[in-house]
Amino acid sequence: MDDKARRGMAIRREVLGDIHVDRAEATKTEFDAPFQDLITDAAWGTVWADDTITRRERSMLTLAVLAATGSYAEIPMHVRACRNTGASAEDIMQAFLHVAVYAGVPKANHAITLAKETIAEMEIPS
């Protein structure tokens, strides 16, 4: 593993949490290993490693892009990651309000529904 990959994995763990990353690593196969390497290097080792904007801002951007592109399956994971990046529930809502205006109310509505469910689950003591 090179320095970029190591840094990417460290940031991935800081943002998503060890439980999520450990689960992804445990289920990684020869088939999806190239994809896992790509996201660790590109998303986490390059984009998230850049300190031009804060992780809080990156969380908000990520949620907005996911909602705007209809990539709903990733939204709960990134809502949970907000507890590690400093993005609040109000920040999440602001990102989705932007989506409503610029990408469509139905996309924002679905994203908000997913965020509400995820936030409610996070508030339940484990």
User: Containing domain of residue 69, as a range?
Assistant: 54-126
* Run of H or E including 21: helix 18-26
What number of other Cβ atoms are within 10 A of residue 88's Cβ? 13
Residues 5 and 17 in one domain: yes
Residues 87 and 108 in one domain: yes
Residues 45 and 81 in one domain: no
Phi then psi dihedrals of residue 5, to 5 deg: -65, -40
Residues 48 and 69 in one domain: no
The torsion angle over the Cα atoms of residues 50, 51, 56 and 62, rounded to 10 degrees, is -20
Residues 71 and 108 in one domain: yes
Question: What does the block give as tokens for 44?
Answer: 């986490």
What number of other Cβ atoms are within 10 A of residue 65's Cβ? 15
Q: Is the Cβ–Cβ distance between 7 and 45 less than 8 Å?
A: yes
How far apart are alpha carbons 108 and 49 in whole angstroms?
27
Residues 32 and 68 in one domain: no
pLDDT value at position 125?
Answer: 58
- The number of distinct structural domains making up the chain is 2
Residues 19 and 75 in one domain: no
Q: What is the mean pLDDT of each run of 10 residues along the chain (126 residues)?
A: 91 97 96 95 96 98 98 98 97 98 98 97 76
Which of 37, 52, 67 lies at the terminal end of a domain, its last residue?
A: 52
Residues 92 and 104 in one domain: yes
